[in-house]
Amino acid sequence: MKAKSYVISLILIICLILSAVIGYKKGYLGDVFNFKTKRYVDNTIGNSGSITRTRESIYENESSILDIGDEYVVEYEAKDYKGNIDYVNSYKIKETYLDSYITRTLPDGMEVTYYDSDEKNYVSDNGKSLSEKYSYLIVTLEMINESNEKSNMTDVCPTNIKIGYFDDDGTFKMYDYTRGSMSDDELAKGHVSLPIGNKSIITMCYVVPDELLDKQLVIAGEIIECDKGAPKLPYFKVKI
């Protein structure tokens, strides 16, 4: 019986050690013991459906700030508990910044959601234009899925692509999420299918108060919401 107890105890100890190693590699222990000290809060402004998340601060001088015509590869290399590349959970998406502009009339086929009650005071009866105080900001990106053939990344989520600006101390301040999006001229709801090796032209619409147009707005090219091990992102400068 004693020998059996020793074997069971040894197995439990090995399991605990493996759990600790896996947790360390994936960054979970850092969250538990608060190893990360630089944090900020994503908080949508003037939006009754606001979402708050605590994440690491993003600084302008450490970020890739891109103009129209520039491209950037958002790449995430996952690892298994042995430290080997996990191709299934890794991905590589090339983003090319095609265009951006400000308008008070929605492009054909685009639909948006109005959260703020004040916004609704300036929306036309058909919901396709704004009279004053607010504007639509339209941004178009080309995305190409260059992931390994084993990757399970076969779609992207434009709703995660945030708009914001870098404040006076150079820290990114989020304003809002995408209010509407289209993929290859078709209305997109939630995820957009992007099989490996394929490309898609994705157009996103944001609703912003005119007072924000005095700032240099940027679009964060985030593919999926990823709090742990998030890859470095591009920030596309909006053409005002």
Which residues partner with 203 through β-bridges? 140, 182
pLDDT of residue 29: 44
Give the other-Cβ count within 10 Å of 184's Cβ. 11
Kindly list the distances between the CA atom of residue 3 and the CA atoms of 7, 11, 15, 16, 162, in Å, as whole numbers in the listed order.
Answer: 6, 12, 19, 20, 59
pLDDT of residue 226: 55
Let me know: does 41 contact 164? Beta carbons within 8 Å: no
* Tokens at 42, concatenated: 């994503």
222 alpha carbon, distance to own chain's centre:
3
| Rounded-to-integer distance, Cα 34 and Cα 19, Å | 18
pLDDT of residue 208: 95
* Tokens at 110, concatenated: 């685009």
Give the other-Cβ count within 10 Å of 209's Cβ. 15
pLDDT of residue 116: 82
Q: pLDDT below 70 — which residues of the chain?
A: 1-9, 15, 18-56, 225-231
* Tokens at 8, concatenated: 């069971």
* Tokens at 95, concatenated: 């983003």
Whole-prediction pTM: 0.74
- Taken in order 94, 98, 104, 108, the sign of the CA dihedral is negative
DSSP 141-176: EEEEE---TT----EE-GGG--EEEE-TTSBEEEEE
For 99-115, write each residue's pLDDT tens digit. Answer: 999 999 999 999 998 98
